Amino acid sequence: VSVTAAQLWCELAWLGGDRAERGVLVEIADDRIVSVTTDVRERPSAAERLRGLVLPGFANAHSHAFHRALRGRTHAGRGTFWTWREQMYAVADRLQPDTYLALARATFAEMALAGITTVGEFHYLHHGPGGVPYADANEMGLTVAQAAHEAGIRMTLLDTCYLHGGIGQPLNGVQRRFGDGTADAWADRAGALSPGPHALVGAAVHSVRAVDPASITTVAAWAAQRGAPLHAHVSEQPAENDACLASYGRTPVEVFADVGALSERFSAVHAIHLTDRDIGLLGGSRSCVCCCPTTERDLADGITPASRLRAAGAALSLGSDSHAVIDPYEEARAVELDERLASRERGNHAVVDLLAAATNHASLGWNAGRIEAGALADLVVIGLDSVRLAGADAATALPSVVYAATAADVRHVMVGGRWVVRDGAHQSFDVPSALRSAVAAVWSPDGNPAG
């Protein structure tokens, strides 16, 4: 669908400052914002009135779409990250391109309804059962990118290198579906990816558990050559740090630093169990740290020292990761509130810093996440008339949304100049019904919806 031009008059919009602006006229041509005018008191007759608060689209910088099928199945009860991982592997084992397409499409549509306009999909489910490649070795990557396209959001496909079942160990069981054998073979396959104009290709290193330092060097060089984002799981669990120190005599962050992987294009996902030196390395290199607090608390991972990282110079982004919930407002406030519980101090992060993290598209390689001329026309309109937000005004709209909004408060979502969500409804399909049948298909014995 091509969009020619549109004028939107926002009652309130966030343009990056510490409070919302009143009467903002946004002009859009094709997929870009071409002008932003503040202090426009009256709606011009040609402009559509947007009631509520208009924000730039949110970036979900860390996602594994298929984990959505685990919701409600793994969150209660006991166990650890490592027992959760066994349940996650059970889903990975069952997925084929058709069931994966349906599940990922519905999951990305749930993201669109929450105001997410770009997803960073950390994709490692590359091959068929037993690790046998599909006829097109990129079939699964193309499938997940297609799912985002059909759900109406853009994607950075973070094609993930995954070579070992643990440091010095072979891939085991379902992990064989993740592996390309060598980093060079990964680079050849990822280099052939061409997922379409709505998607960028970036690189990912699963973790220091799954990729040795020499292979990390290869992946980092591949990303550097292309100026592409490079993401990695880093220090999510103490056991990863222990194994890394025992094998390499260095922390995971030091392993990445020593091969030259840290830069503004690098995102360390989780980055929880860090030394002071790790914080200095991430900050000094202007790396990004992707916080996934709703997943991290579900998995009892710990709390990212996000305020110290930001003070050291790191950027922050947010991810819903395992999709325990898909709610960028909950993710944003958890960064602050979790640190309050740990530090017993308030105000570790300003509201605008949390919004900047929630809209950080740079870590995914897109010029979006800001309402300004030249940026992609990705917008979220949040109604301020629900019981959660009623009473918010220009002065209180930003903290109200960050601390009290939920995904259910999203009224309209625009991606690249095109409305994907209107009046709280996805424009392409019935998302709850799509989720219901996609999740049922994953768990039914024959791979078909149970009805």
Q: Which residues are catalytic?
A: 270, 321
Query: Which C-beta is closer to Zn ion: that of 73 or that of 340?
Result: 73
> Using CB atoms, what's the residue nearest to Zn ion?
321
Task: Give the shortest CB-194-to-Zn ion separation in angstroms.
Answer: 25
CB count within 10 Å of CB 46 equals: 10
Query: Which C-beta is closer to Zn ion: that of 21 or that of 321?
Result: 321
Tally the residues of the chain.
451
Task: Give the shortest CB-321-to-Zn ion separation in angstroms.
Answer: 5
Over the window 304 to 323, marking each residue x when it contacts Zn ion by CB under 5 A and - when it does not, the resulting string is -----------------x--
Query: Which C-beta is closer to Zn ion: that of 158 or that of 414?
Result: 158
Task: Give the shortest CB-35-to-Zn ion separation in angstroms.
Answer: 38
Longest CA–CA separation in the chain, Å: 68
Query: Which C-beta is closer to Zn ion: that of 22 or that of 297?
Result: 297
Task: Give the shortest CB-117-to-Zn ion separation in angstroms.
Answer: 20
Measured CA to CA, the distance from residue 64 to residue 364 in angstroms comes to: 15
Task: Give the shortest CB-122-to-Zn ion separation in angstroms.
Answer: 5
Query: Which C-beta is closer to Zn ion: that of 187 or that of 290?
Result: 290
* Span 103-162, contacts to Zn ion by CB under 5 A: none
Task: Give the shortest CB-191-to-Zn ion separation in angstroms.
Answer: 23
* Span 320-349, contacts to Zn ion by CB under 5 A: 321
Query: Which C-beta is closer to Zn ion: that of 31 or that of 321?
Result: 321
Task: Give the shortest CB-103-to-Zn ion separation in angstroms.
Answer: 17
Total residues interacting with Zn ion, rule: CB under 5 A: 1
Query: Which C-beta is closer to Zn ion: that of 321 or that of 338?
Result: 321
- HEC readout, the chain: CCCCEEEEEEEEECCCCCCCEEEEEEEEECCEEEEEECCCCCCCCCCEEEEEEEEECEEEEEECHHHHHHCCCCCCCCCCHHHHHHHHHHHHHHCCHHHHHHHHHHHHHHHHHHCEEEEEEEECCCCCHHHCCCCCCCHHHHHHHHHHHHHCCEEEEEEEECCCCECCECCCHHHHHCCCCCHHHHHHHHHCCCCCCCEEEEEEECCCCCCCHHHHHHHHHHHHHHCCCEEEEECCCHHHHHHHHHHHCCCHHHHHHHCCCCCCCEEEEECCCCCHHHHHHHHHCCCEEEECHHHHHHCCCCCCCHHHHHHHCCEEEECCECCCCCCHHHHHHHHHHHHHHHHCCCCCCCHHHHHHHHCCCHHHCCCCCCCCCCCECCEEEECCCCCCCCCCCCCCHHHHHHHHCCHHHEEEEEECCEEEEECCEECCCCHHHHHHHHHHHHHCCCCCCCC
392 phi, psi to nearest 5 deg: -70, 140
- Binding footprint of Zn ion on the chain (CB under 5 A): 321
